[in-house]
Amino acid sequence: MDLANKVAIITGAGGGMGGEVIRKFLEKGAKVSAVDINVDAIAELEEKYPEHLLVTKADLTDEGSVNAVVQKTVDTYQKVDILLNVAGMAQSAKNIEDVSLKEWEQIMAINSTAVFLTSKAVVPFMKEKNEGSIINVASVSVDRPRPGLNAYVASKGATISFTKALAIELAPYNIRVNAINPGPADTKMLAEFVPAGGDEGDVKENTFLKSVPLGRLITPEDIANCAIYLSSDLAEIITGSVVNVDGGRGI
């Protein structure tokens, strides 16, 4: 699964999954345009891959910033083959009565609207080449919701519906659109799902870990492996699919 000569825009670069996905894409030979509001975590990769890594600090909920990142990527690497939307935010579990409109809108903005904005910006460049792969990281919680994650689950459900809608719209242009549903993953985000005042360690061990039939939390590497496959030519006939990378949590 060689990604040499492929150009990938990867969001969520500063996070647990995004950082590892970028590392693996670089190892496979891709040129990567990495985006996040916080890019500190990938500073060492910038030094290691000066020719293959372009890092931009940007808010993905802002249309102008998203358009500028995509244009900068094309100016630098001449094309975009892959868009991988990893950025997102969690929701601390709470009853619907306690969810403010502001919190709902913030979660929707990064988990759903940013996926619309990045897709809208890259599609013209992909149509030009009659080729492309868009991968959106959603969540297995859409199939197996936990109480109190109302806004989060809704935002990821919208992303899955959007993935399928774009897959059918863009198939005539040979642009594939797929989603990955991670199960509970061992990143800093996992603790952010715990209700205020909850015991993070206990919830991780006794709720999240125990919910995975294969018996371990999902790693960023598991997500990276799936993203590489979906990006590669081996997946050339796969579009509109939602792949659970979840150790069986979605069963």
Ligand X SMILES: NC(=O)c1ccc[n+]([C@@H]2O[C@H](COP(=O)([O-])OP(=O)(O)OC[C@H]3O[C@@H](n4cnc5c(N)ncnc54)[C@H](O)[C@@H]3O)[C@@H](O)[C@H]2O)c1
182 forms part of the interface with ligand X (CB under 6 A) = yes
Using DSSP, state whether 56 is helix, strand or coil.
strand
Smallest distance from ligand X to CB 251, Å: 16
Which stretches within the chain are classed as H helix? 16-27, 43-48, 63-77, 101-108, 114-129, 150-170, 189-192, 200-203, 220-231
Residue 155: CB partners within 8 Å, gap ≥ 6?
107, 108, 111, 112
209 forms part of the interface with ligand X (CB under 6 A) = no
Given 33, 61, 133, 163, the residue binding ligand X (CB under 6 A): 61
- Number of residues binding to ligand X, judged by CB under 6 A: 26
Identity of the residue, 146 or 164, whose beta carbon is nearer to ligand X in the bound complex: 146
**How far apart, in whole angstroms, are the C-alpha atoms of residue 29 and residue 51?**
11
Identity of the residue, 30 or 110, whose beta carbon is nearer to ligand X in the bound complex: 110
Given 3, 7, 17, 243, the residue binding ligand X (CB under 6 A): 17
Q: Is residue 134 within 8 Å of 119, Cβ to Cβ?
A: yes
Smallest distance from ligand X to CB 114, Å: 6
Given 7, 18, 142, 244, the residue binding ligand X (CB under 6 A): 18
Per-position DSSP letters for 99-162, written without gaps between them:
--HHHHHHHHIIIIIHHHHHHHHHHHHHHHHT-EEEEEE--GGGTSPPTT-HHHHHHHHHHHHH
* DSSP code at position 7: E
Smallest distance from ligand X to CB 192, Å: 7
Given 33, 91, 118, 139, the residue binding ligand X (CB under 6 A): 139
Helix axes 63-77, 114-129, angle to 10 degrees: 30
**How far apart, in whole angstroms, are the C-alpha atoms of residue 52 and residue 34?**
10
Piece in contact with ligand X (CB under 6 A), picked from 13-21, 44-52, 94-102, 165-173: 13-21
Indicate the residue whose CB is closest to ligand X: 15
Identity of the residue, 5 or 100, whose beta carbon is nearer to ligand X in the bound complex: 100
Strand partners, 132: 175
Catalytic residue among 49, 152, 173, 229: 152
The yes-or-no answer on residue 49 being catalytic is no
Q: Annotate each residue in 78-117 with x if it binds ligand X (CB under 6 A) or - if it does not, as one string.
A: --------xxxx--------------------x-------
Smallest distance from ligand X to CB 175, Å: 21
Please report, as ranges, the residues that interact with ligand X according to CB under 6 A.
12, 14-18, 36-38, 59-61, 86-89, 110, 137, 139, 182, 184-185, 187-190
Q: Give the active site residues.
A: 152
